[in-house]
Chain A
Amino acid sequence: MPGTVPNASDPVELSTGPALAVAAAVREGRVTARAVLEATLARIEAVDPLLNAFTAVTAGRARAEADAIDRARAEGKPLGALAGVPFAVKNLFDLAGLRTLAGSKINRDHAPAKRDAALVERLTAAGAVCVGALNMGEYAYDFTGENLHEGPSRNPHDLEHMSGGSSGGSGSAVGGRLVPLSLGSDTNGSIRVPSSFCGIFGLKPTYGRLSRARTFPFVASFDHLGPFARTVADLAATYDALIGADADDPSLAAVAPEPTTPALARGGEGLRVAVLGGWFARQGTPQAYDAVARAARALGAKASVELPEVELARASAYLVTMAEGAALHRDRLRERPKDFDPAVRERLLAGAALPNAWILKAQKFRRWFHDRALELFSDWDVLIAPATPVPAPRVGQTTFELDGREMLVRPNIGIYTQPISFIGLPVVAAPMPGGERLPIAVQLIAAPWREADALRAAAVLEAAGLAFAPPPVV
């Protein structure tokens, strides 16, 4: 069931509770940021050997940040919305003084980053405390959360199962209650898949919404960054701290962002909700469709609607990903071939040979598909779809059965997420535990720039007791 309210004077209880409970307790002086941090670091030390979510714990930096928050409070200075809240980031975000691995062995040879990623700076400016860097699939070309060089990050609900990728550590750390917040990236599903497998909330904002400055890229056409949390209010507050113009990112859209937290109080009033049929109603397991059906009932979904040619959208995203990924890594494929995970390298090599006409057609099709989606949003505000066809497969599992057909796990975990990120729509992945041991999430998809609509829908499901982050086994 949804989490209980932690004792605001108990740093140990707070450290596994919601982010906003920590910030309130720190602001009110019921606990120090340092005490919450020490409880967090102790839990990471005890539990992370099981989850393998972290690739670096930045205890020194975190202690300095927490002490600065406590000093600011003692001096009567105003504290940020996330004062004293521990967080960690996928290791493709620059953290000053650390090497930005992006899940690779090759980047271990890079110089340490000189400055934090823009979004890390935004969170620390809001008072959050950075406790480390998180495991991820190599160069983000992954849906499993497995990593040849670091070992797999593991599912907090069953350690023998995948965390989901490529932001596997980000999902595992939040689902395992090591931190209340994390950041990840989503090119084809890498925020929504770990959210589904680890049973947490994730937000993939509109393409161009959040600054990508000082993060390691994958596919410039589709790369998004975004937050993970265990409550909708935490997710909205984190997103609100992340928005804003940034001259360091030329891909940022010139559309003024709006904070989403004020909108949550409006509940589902006036939201026109439909379920995505067609492609999204095929190939999933009963658990995936049960989650969609429960969400649809709670949100008063009025219809089942279809996006046309979804299979081509997925194919186009697949091709552009292969080609842009291969172009990005071309020199490394030539000079350091043996230092790649072969499962990543074999796809990048195939991508290096794709004819240009295929990629240009995919980019033209992207515009066409985007226009069809906008037509749907003239009648609807939120579209519901499964996040993944299955709950987390076992670590190392290579095939699964979808609609009675044996399919490869790696490319097919993202069948429902890939067509949506292809056109950059904002999505909240909302975990919908239904009594099974492993959770699964639904996608709440909104029109471009309407993150607030997706978050409001998630808040309705949360208030109904349907969407929540179940307790981990660790």
Chain B
Amino acid sequence: MDEGRAAAQAAYLDAALALAGLPLEEELRPRVAMHFGIAADMAEWLMAFPLADEAEPAPVYQP
């Protein structure tokens, strides 16, 4: 991963967890960042997959 992307992810992760009030010790931070990085890589392929605006999400609430 390029350094800019890694730094952006780390900054985003810190901000998101701080906003949610979720504590993260320094020693666990690299592991959480690694898992976030795996998810971000997966999301990059997924977001690039073309779906129509009208595509329905799978779980549909049935009243």
Do A and B originate from a single complex? yes
A367 close to B43 (CB less than 8 A): no
Bound-complex Cα distance A217 to B38 (A):
24
Q: How many A-B residue pairs have CB under 8 A?
A: 102
Q: Does A263 contact B (CB under 8 A)?
A: no
Interface centre among B21, B28, B42 (most CB of A within 10 A): B42
B31 close to A353 (CB less than 8 A): no
Residue in contact with A349 in the complex, picked from B17, B38, B43, CB distance below 8 Å: B17
B59 close to A334 (CB less than 8 A): no
CB of B19 to closest CB in A, whole Å: 9
Given A350-B32, A411-B38, do A363 and B59 touch, yes or no (CB 8 Å)?
A: yes
Q: Does A160 contact B (CB under 8 A)?
A: no
Interfacial residues of chain A within 380-412, with CB under 8 A of chain B in the complex: 411
B55 close to A352 (CB less than 8 A): no
A352 close to B49 (CB less than 8 A): no
Please, what's the 1-or-0 string for B27-49, where 1 marks a CB less than 8 Å from any CB in chain A?
A: 01001110110110011011101
Q: Does A330 contact B (CB under 8 A)?
A: yes
Chain A residue at minimal CB-CB distance from B31: A346
Q: Does B6 contact A (CB under 8 A)?
A: no
Please, what's the 1-or-0 string for A320-354, where 1 marks a CB less than 8 Å from any CB in chain B?
A: 00100000001001100100001001110111111
Interface residues on B, range: 20 to 34
Interface residues of A (CB under 8 A from B): 221, 254, 309, 311-312, 315-316, 318-319, 322, 330, 333-334, 337, 342, 345-347, 349-355, 357-358, 360-368, 370, 411, 423
Interface residues of B (CB under 8 A from A): 12-13, 16-17, 20-24, 28, 31-33, 35-36, 38-39, 42-43, 45-47, 49, 51, 55-59, 62
25 contacts between A and B (CB under 8 A): A319-B39, A319-B46, A347-B35, A349-B22, A349-B24, A349-B32, A349-B35, A350-B32, A350-B39, A352-B16, A352-B20, A353-B16, A354-B36, A354-B39, A361-B46, A361-B49, A362-B46, A363-B59, A364-B51, A364-B56, A364-B57, A364-B58, A365-B46, A365-B49, A367-B58
